[in-house]
Structure 1
Amino acid sequence: MSEELYVDGLGLAPGVMETIIAIAARDVEGVASVGSSSFSGLRSRFAAKPAGAGIDVHMNESEGIEVAVHIDVYYGQPIPQVAAAVRQAIADAVTTQVGFSIASIDVYVDGIRFAD
């Protein structure tokens, strides 16, 4: 999301939705990181603040917010269940904190990580 998002008289600055989504996804058991791990590492070296790397948010005027989130999952975790939990966590966070309806949440597993 590169510009403000407006719904029902509420405007959100760029990055607000991405932050809500990233925190919700990161808090799900089994999620190692949000965004591509190699991209996140490179971005953190050059970016002043963490942004929505690996998160895309688009407004579908007729249906609501469309979300795509890229995650890494810990080895041994059931990927379908982790993805379902990520979808639910994002839907709950966006609905509770912002009040926007969600049209779709696509979860992409970009990698597997081993626990430290």
Structure 2
Amino acid sequence: MANELSIDGFAISTNVIATIVTIAAEKVDGVAYVNGHNVATSLITMFTSKPTVAEDTVECEVTDGKLDVTLPIAVFFGYTFPEVAQGVREAVANAVTTQIGVPVGAVNIRIDELVFPKE
């Protein structure tokens, strides 16, 4: 992943995109965390004003003037994967369109982990 992407006449840091995508995805019911952004990084974010996102967590590229995003997520046990994935797609597309102002071509979800509740 490059350090910045050029789209629609401006350049934007991939870290900025990753932060927007991660925050949007983690608000969806059923998402435990975006991989690379777990409890440790959440605590750092909670006690500082700057979100901490692993640089290689969210992949993004520009295709035909649209932003394509791929992100790995961890899902809580008991949630239906297709429903969580659709919720993440909608949240990410809305956040990118609203905050960055560019069209989204695709939001690809990769479920890498299943998180079980403590018993």
TM value normalised by structure 1: 0.81
Distance 1:52 1:72 in 2: 17
Task: Supply the RMSD in Å over aligned alpha carbons.
Answer: 2.4
**Equivalences for residues 7-26 of structure 1 within 5 A:** 7-26=7-26
Secondary structure of the corresponding residue to residue 21 of structure 1: helix
The corresponding residue for 2:113 is 111
**Are 1:67 and 1:104, in contact at CA under 8 Å, matched by a contact in 2?**
yes
Residues 91 and 102 of structure 1 are in contact (CA less than 8 Å); yes or no, is this contact kept in structure 2?
yes
Q: In structure 2, what is the Cα distance between the partners aligned to 1:33 and 1:17?
A: 16
Which 5+ residue runs of structure 2 have no aligned equivalent? 43-51
Q: Following the alignment from structure 1 to structure 2, what is the Cα–Cα distance between the partners of residues 96 and 74? A: 27
Q: Displacement of 1:19 after TM fit?
A: 0.5
Measure how far apart 1:51 and its partner are: 2.5
Within 5 Å, give how 1:33-44 maps onto structure 2.
33-35=33-35
**TM-score, scaled to structure 2:** 0.79
- Cα distance in structure 2, aligned partners of 1:115 and 1:32: 10
Structure 1 residue aligned with 2:74, among 72, 75, 87? 72
- Matched positions, count: 109
Which amino acid in 2 is paired with 1:57?
A: C
Contact 1:19/1:51, CA 8 A, preserved across alignment: no
Residue in 2 that maps onto 1:88:
90
SS state at 1:20 partner: helix
2:46 corresponds to: none
Unaligned 5+ segments in structure 1 are none
Contact 1:36 1:111 in 2 (8 A): no
Distance 1:55 1:71 in 2: 10
